[in-house]
C-alpha cells in the first residue's frame, strides 16, 4: 500500500527541483511532498510567466534544475474550445520546451497528463498502450504535449490521471461542498465513469517515483503510467460519497441523499464534449513501483477530513 510517510533520499547532494504550476492543486501538494528530496522552486505567475517561452528559457538557464516536474496545464476544458492558442502553449509547447532542456542536460522530466487523450468510449479501463483519440481541444493539446515529451528523447515519466481534486482550490469536491451547504436538491451526471484522484496521492506517488529514480542501482523505465486510485464511480456516485464523508466529519450540509438526482450527459450540454469512459488501468504503475494504490473512497475520506480540520 502507498504510505503517507515521507521517504528520505539515499543521497547527500542537494537537489534543485523545478515545479511548474505551483499554485495549482497538484503543484501545491508537490511542494509539500518533494521538499523532503531537495530545494523546490515553484515560482508563481508574477515570478515566471509560463506563456512566455523566452521567460521559461531564461529561468531554466539561471536556475539549472536537476529535476523538472511539470504540473502546469490549461485545464479549463470548455474555455479551451475558444482559447486554443493558450491551451496549445501550456499543454503542448511548454512540455516540449521543458523536455528539450531535460534532454540537453540529461535530467528527468515528470509530466502530468489526462484520461482525455483517449476516445472516452467503451467500458474497459484504458491501458497505456491503447490508441488515443481525444474528443475535445483540451484532450488534443494534452496528447500533443505527451507526444512532444516522448519524442524529445529525454528521460521522462508521464503520469496520466483523472478527475483531480484536493482540499484546496477549485474542484468538483469544493463545488459539491459549497452547493450541498446551500441547496436541498442537485442533479449530477451518472453516465461518465472514472476514478476521482486526490492531488495528495499524485504528489506522493511522484515522490516515491523520484526517490526510486535517484536511488543508486534503482531503475524506472521512461514512459507513460496511469496514476489514479483503485475503483470507479460516476460523478453522481462521487457527489453522494462526498456528502456522506462530509456528514461524518460534521461539515454543514442542507442536502440529503434523496436530494441528489442522477441525470445523463445529454441533459447537461457543455461547449466541449466529455469522455464517458475515464477508467484507467493502474497495473503498470503498481508493478513498476511495487505498490498497491488505495481505493478512491478512502482517499476522498482523507481529503474531506483535511478540509474539516482546516475549518
* DSSP letter, residue 6: P
Between CA 183 and CA 255 the distance in angstroms is 6
State the sign of the Cα–Cα–Cα–Cα dihedral 282, 287, 288, 290.
positive
As a whole number of Å, the end-to-end CA separation of the chain is 29
Q: Which residue among 138, 165, 225, 268 is the active-site one? A: 138
18 within 8 A of 63, measured Cβ to Cβ? yes
289 within 8 A of 208, measured Cβ to Cβ? yes
Asked about 138 being catalytic, the answer comes back as yes
Between CA 231 and CA 281 the distance in angstroms is 10
147 within 8 A of 95, measured Cβ to Cβ? no
26 phi and psi, to 5 degrees? -70, -40
- The number of residues making up the chain comes to 311
> Considering only CA atoms, which of 27, 68, 61 is closest in space to residue 44?
27
**Residues noted as catalytic:** 138
Amino acid at each position: 500500500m502507498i504510505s503517507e510517510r515521507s521517504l528520505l533520499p539515499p543521497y547527500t547532494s542537494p537537489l534543485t527541483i523545478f515545479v511548474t504550476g505551483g499554485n495549482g492543486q497538484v503543484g501545491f501538494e508537490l511542494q509539500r511532498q518533494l521538499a523532503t528530496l531537495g530545494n523546490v522552486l515553484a515560482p508563481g505567475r508574477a515570478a515566471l510567466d509560463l506563456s512566455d517561452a523566452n521567460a521559461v528559457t531564461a529561468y531554466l538557464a539561471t536556475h539549472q534544475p536537476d529535476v523538472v516536474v511539470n504540473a502546469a496545464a490549461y485545464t479549463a476544458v470548455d474555455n479551451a474550445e475558444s482559447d486554443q492558442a493558450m491551451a496549445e502553449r501550456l499543454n503542448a509547447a511548454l512540455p516540449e520546451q521543458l523536455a528539450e532542456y531535460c534532454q540537453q542536460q540529461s535530467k528527468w522530466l515528470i509530466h502530468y497528463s489526462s484520461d482525455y487523450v483517449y476516445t472516452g468510449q467503451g467500458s474497459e479501463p484504458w491501458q497505456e498502450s491503447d490508441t488515443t483519440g481525444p474528443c475535445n481541444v483540451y484532450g488534443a493539446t494534452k496528447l500533443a504535449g505527451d507526444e512532444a515529451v516522448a519524442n524529445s528523447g529525454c528521460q521522462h515519466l508521464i503520469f496520466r490521471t483523472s478527475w483531480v481534486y484536493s482540499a484546496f482550490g477549485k474542484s468538483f469536491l469544493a463545488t459539491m461542498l459549497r452547493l450541498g451547504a446551500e441547496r436541498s436538491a442537485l442533479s449530477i451526471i451518472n453516465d461518465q465513469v472514472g476514478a476521482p484522484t486526490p492531488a495528495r496521492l499524485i504528489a506522493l506517488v511522484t515522490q516515491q517515483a523520484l526517490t526510486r529514480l535517484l536511488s543508486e542501482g534503482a531503475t524506472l523505465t521512461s514512459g507513460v503510467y496511469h496514476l489514479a486510485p483503485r475503483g470507479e464511480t460516476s460523478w453522481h456516485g462521487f457527489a453522494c460519497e462526498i456528502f456522506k464523508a462530509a456528514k461524518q466529519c460534521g461539515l454543514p450540509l442542507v442536502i440529503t441523499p434523496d436530494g441528489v438526482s442522477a441525470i445523463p450527459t445529454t441533459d447537461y450540454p457543455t461547449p466541449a464534449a466529455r469522455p464517458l469512459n475515464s477508467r484507467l488501468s493502474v497495473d503498470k504503475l503498481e508493478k513498476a513501483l511495487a505498490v498497491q494504490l488505495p481505493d478512491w473512497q478512502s482517499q476522498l475520506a482523507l481529503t474531506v477530513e483535511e478540509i474539516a480540520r482546516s475549518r
